[in-house]
Structure 1
Amino acid sequence: MSFKEPVSVLVVIHTPALDCLLIERARQPGFWQSVTGSREPGEALLNTACREVAEETGIVCAPRQLKDWALQNEYEILELWRHRYAPGVTRNTEHVFSLCVPAGTPVTLAPDEHRAQRWLPWREAAAACFSASNREALLALPTRYVEQLATTP
């Protein structure tokens, strides 16, 4: 069995109006989240983010389309998911990104991973997330998006 690396990405997918995509985990009904996923060995984090977005939502993006927040969260891996990691690994480092897509962007879920999707205004999306780091990212989205617009030529 190959174990997951304790390094992951969180990708907040949103529209220019700051409606955010949340997806519900297939095996944990009620666990709503943004796109998340573990880095593959040797994979650049931007490539991890693009791969996870495509695998989980069917949205294909290039690394240049992602906004790297240069933000890392470290948290304890829930007991529920520790079997995926090498024995003794209890903490994960998550790197945060965002992706702005046009309203109406179609979403195709990976049915083995997610069972439902919905677009919510950023505050409602934050309130619906089970993950504290995901909730914090959604609450920071308006500020991050304005900063991104100000620095984009």
Structure 2
Amino acid sequence: MARPYKIPQSVLVVVHTPALDVLLIRRADGSEHWQSVTGSKDTEQESFQSTAVREVFEETGIVCADCRLTDWELENVYDIWPAYRHRYPPGVTRNTEHVFGLLVPPGTAVRLNPREHTEHRWLNYLEAADACFSPSNAEAILMLPQFAA
């Protein structure tokens, strides 16, 4: 059976502590690609919030119901890298990404999905922004103080 195309609507979830330490995860397909939690909707009907809750759990094992998920009401629209366009319907070249923050207690355990990510680390938000490979991810992390207040 052919794998269905990805929906060009996704989430970016900045997972952070009250001290503004940010969780970064290293992509399995790009050894130097550190990022926040990201992922596409499974269906057109899936809400962005449901996508965020599902992706956080799938990628980190963190249960959002035990934390505070906040919709930052921001969207990034960006070009899909040419190497990944085959995952989307023909002619689709742009993705819309909805941004959330997830406040977690200090010491929150992380259980990575090894097919997607190989390593994690907690960094101060300024260091985390510098470590991200994605400019929109770095920009979202730099906005964390205003959303965490």
* TM-score where L is the length of structure 2: 0.95
Q: 1:92 aligns with which of 90, 95, 115?
A: 95
SS in 2 for 1:135: helix
2:145 corresponds in structure 1 to 142
2:63 corresponds in structure 1 to 60
Alignment of 1:74-113 (within 5 A): 74-113=77-116
2:34 corresponds in structure 1 to 32
Distance 2:32 2:50 in 1: 28
Say if 1:13 and 1:100, in contact at 8 Å, map to a contact too: yes
* TM-score where L is the length of structure 1: 0.93
Q: How many residues align?
A: 146
> What are structure 2's unaligned runs of at least 5 residues?
none
1:17 corresponds in structure 2 to 19
> What are structure 1's unaligned runs of at least 5 residues?
147-153
Does residue 131 (structure 1) correspond to residue 129 (structure 2)? The answer is no
Distance 1:72 1:99 in 2: 16
Counterpart residue identity of residue 75, structure 2: Q
Percent sequence identity over matched residues? 60
Say if 1:50 and 1:63, in contact at 8 Å, map to a contact too: no
SS in 2 for 1:62: helix
Say if 2:67 and 2:103, in contact at 8 Å, map to a contact too: no
Counterpart residue identity of residue 8, structure 1: S
Deviations 1:96-130 (Å, cap 9, x if unpaired)?
Answer: 00000011100000000000000000000000000
Distance 2:66 2:100 in 1: 10
Distance 1:75 1:63 in 2: 31
Distance 1:58 1:116 in 2: 13
SS in 2 for 1:67: strand
Distance 1:75 1:143 in 2: 23
State the 4+ residue runs in structure 1 displaced beyond 3 angstroms.
Answer: none
